[in-house]
Structure 1
Amino acid sequence: MSSAEPRRTTNTAPFQEIHMPQLRFHGVTPARLAPVSRILIDQLSETTTTARDEFTLECVATQYVFDGETVDAFPFVEVLWFERGQATRDACATAIDQAMRKAGYPEAETFFIALSPSNYYIAGQSLGRDTSGEV
């Protein structure tokens, strides 16, 4: 695996030890995101106390359609992670906003999707146990 490729974990430790934030950028080009990606990951890593190689940044090819025509994409960022609390979420949102502005996107939206460890699997093994539906 080259140093440019994201690391793929096979760790099946409890979810508290798996930090896996994934950021999906919509309406954002890789050419504009790449120059700010290092500092963004540095800031997010420090804020979340998560190793840099646990982060995944993905540019999703996005095409918007409105009134029968293709239109310019509005940039937004989805952050998939295990919940870390409001203060951490606020700090990460600020870091993402600053990176987007530096990348030439003066206005972008960011939203967080908290994943449940019981719904997250590594090598077929759940990172948590959901007992809410058990009889």
Structure 2
Amino acid sequence: MPHLYFRGLTVELVQAFGESLENELSAIIGCEPGDLMLEVVHTTCVAGGRVAPSYPFVEVAWFERGREIRDAVARCLDRHIRGSGVWEAEVAFRSYRPADYYANGEPFGADPAEAELDALRADNARLKDDLARARKASAAAAAGSMSTRLRDALRE
């Protein structure tokens, strides 16, 4: 993780810049070069009813790292691809949430929304208990100042 899917580029072209790309991207992202997965996806483009060359495109699937790192990754990819003789290419990012990404059946992280909801539920339970105690204390205080007649009427 991250996974980089190259379309419209040959295996040989990606191999030519792959190692230097992995080294530079790992420094930008803050991961080991071996954590990056580069895949060349073989596609067939059809335009005007005929087979046509696929447009150079890279999809980066990862855990979001913020705009600054995303911009640096896109510039790095562009520099390597266009530096290899490709006249233009596009890069798109697909972000996963750690709670929705599994390895060996285990999620990479907790869902922050679920953790927040659990904390709110705990706060709500505490507030309910506080309110029940306050109502009981208020009722006891009010009962102490009532006349015997009124208290007997309320019991019935």
Category of TM-score, reference length = shorter chain: 0.7 to 0.9
Give the paired residue count: 116
Match of residue 97, structure 1, among 78, 83, 89: 78
Instruction: Give the gaps of 5 or more residues in structure 2.
Output: 119-156
TM-aligned CA deviation for residue 128 of structure 1: 2.3
Greater helix fraction, Structure 1 or Structure 2: 2
1:54 maps to which residue?
35
Written as runs of structure 1 = structure 2, the 5 A alignment for 1:26-105 is 26-105=7-86
1:14 maps to which residue?
none
Higher Rg: 2
Q: In structure 1, give the amino acid aligned to 2:100.
A: N
CA distance, structure 2, for counterparts of residue 79 and residue 44 of structure 1: 12
Q: Which runs of 4+ in 1 moved over 2 A?
A: 128-134
TM-score normalised to structure 2 length:
0.70
- Root mean square deviation, CA, Å: 1.8
Tell me whether 1:24 sits opposite 2:5 in the alignment: yes
Aligned partners of 1:36 and 1:102 also within 8 Å: no
CA distance, structure 1, for counterparts of residue 41 and residue 86 of structure 2: 16
TM-score normalised to structure 1 length:
0.80
Amino-acid identity (%): 37
Instruction: Give the gaps of 5 or more residues in structure 1.
Output: 1-19
Structure number with greater CO (CA < 8 Å, separation at least 6) is: 1
